[in-house]
């Protein structure tokens, strides 16, 4: 294990654990994060035994897990799932070799809160890490599209829980979220639930406020990450409501600008 601070971490620093499939890869990411004085960093190989030992010793706020560049991508995804099962409060960023549809969807399904690619650059990596630490979801608009396409019409949330296991939404609000997750328009939701369009809009706005999101895309991605589906739970733990964000050319928080419900 390598760390910025051998005698103890600064309580104001964000403790970040980097795990790659090779020690050289781990060291490269460590050096990149050390250029930002907000981070205190440590490294480990992407293997459950070594990674778990460093988590216990270092107690990181966040992990950056790489898929590797030498054909070992499966190790990274397996470690992410292992980590979410054993350390459910540890947030994770997935560092992908390339932004393929399959890789992005699998990263979010495994529990990542941010996805970053090697060719995005080191500055983007540092911004991604800090944004996820602040509670945002980090993804490009294209990556977000992959996730929504994969889940919106094939997956229906059954419940959305807070960290104490209490439901965040009323039964009717959940009904509306399920309809939205299936790709229905407001008119279709109203017809399906025998409500007026005005009432549907009110339910959607109320749900946005409760979950800290600002549009349908954020709502679906939030539900994917924080709830149980009909067939199986695809999240690994119950979370407090978080701000959903994605980046286009410049990282932005969508919650800063509430969009019209259509």
> What's the CA angle centered on 201, arms 136 and 233, to 5 degrees?
45
Range(s) for CATH 3.40.50.2300 in the chain?
14-134
The β-bridge relationship of strands 246-247 and 251-252 is antiparallel
What's residue 9's pLDDT?
Answer: 42
- Binned at pLDDT 50, 70 and 90, residue 188 comes out as very high
Third-level CATH fold of 153-256: Arc Repressor Mutant, subunit A (1.10.10)
240 phi and psi angles, rounded to 5 deg: -70, 155
What's residue 251's pLDDT?
Answer: 34
The segment with the largest mean pLDDT, out of 28-42, 171-185, 210-224, is 28-42
Range 14-134 classified under CATH 3.40.50.1860: no
At residue 194, does pLDDT exceed 70?
A: yes
Q: Compute the mean pLDDT over every residue in the chain, rounded to the nearest whole number.
A: 76
pLDDT tens string 128-157: 999 999 888 888 888 887 887 776 555 555
What's residue 146's pLDDT?
Answer: 84
- Binned at pLDDT 50, 70 and 90, residue 69 comes out as low
What's residue 145's pLDDT?
Answer: 79
At residue 65, does pLDDT exceed 60?
A: yes
Total-model pTM? 0.65
What's residue 8's pLDDT?
Answer: 43
Cα–Cα distance list, 36 to 33, 41, 106, 164 (Å) = 6, 10, 29, 35
What's residue 221's pLDDT?
Answer: 72
At residue 248, does pLDDT exceed 50?
A: no
Range(s) for CATH 1.10.10.10 in the chain?
153-256
What's residue 39's pLDDT?
Answer: 96
């Amino acid at each position: 294990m390598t760390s910025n601070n051998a005698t103890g971490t600064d309580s104001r620093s964000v403790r970040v654990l980097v795990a790659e499939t090779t020690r050289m890869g781990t060291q490269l990411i460590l050096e990149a994060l050390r250029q930002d004085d907000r981070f205190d960093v440590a490294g480990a190989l992407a293997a459950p035994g070594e990674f778990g030992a460093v988590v216990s010793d270092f107690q990181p706020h966040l992990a950056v897990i790489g898929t590797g560049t030498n054909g070992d991508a499966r190790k990274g995804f397996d470690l992410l799932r292992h980590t979410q099962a054993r350390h459910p409060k540890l947030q994770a960023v997935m560092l992908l070799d390339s932004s393929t549809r399959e890789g992005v969807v699998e990263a979010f399904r495994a529990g990542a809160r941010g996805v970053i690619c090697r060719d995005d650059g080191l500055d983007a990596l540092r911004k991604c890490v800090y944004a996820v630490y602040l509670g945002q979801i980090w993804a490009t608009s294209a990556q977000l599209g992959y996730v929504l396409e994969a889940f919106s019409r094939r997956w229906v949330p059954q419940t959305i829980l807070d960290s104490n296991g209490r439901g965040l939404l009323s039964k009717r609000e959940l009904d509306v979220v399920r309809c939205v997750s299936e790709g229905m328009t407001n008119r279709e939701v109203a017809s399906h639930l025998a409500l007026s369009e005005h009432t549907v809009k009110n339910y959607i706005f109320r749900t946005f406020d409760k979950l800290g999101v600002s549009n349908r895309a954020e709502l679906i991605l939030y539900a994917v990450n924080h709830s149980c589906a009909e067939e199986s739970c695809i999240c690994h733990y119950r979370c407090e409501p978080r701000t959903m964000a994605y980046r286009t050319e410049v990282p932005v928080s969508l919650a800063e600008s509430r969009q019209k419900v259509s």
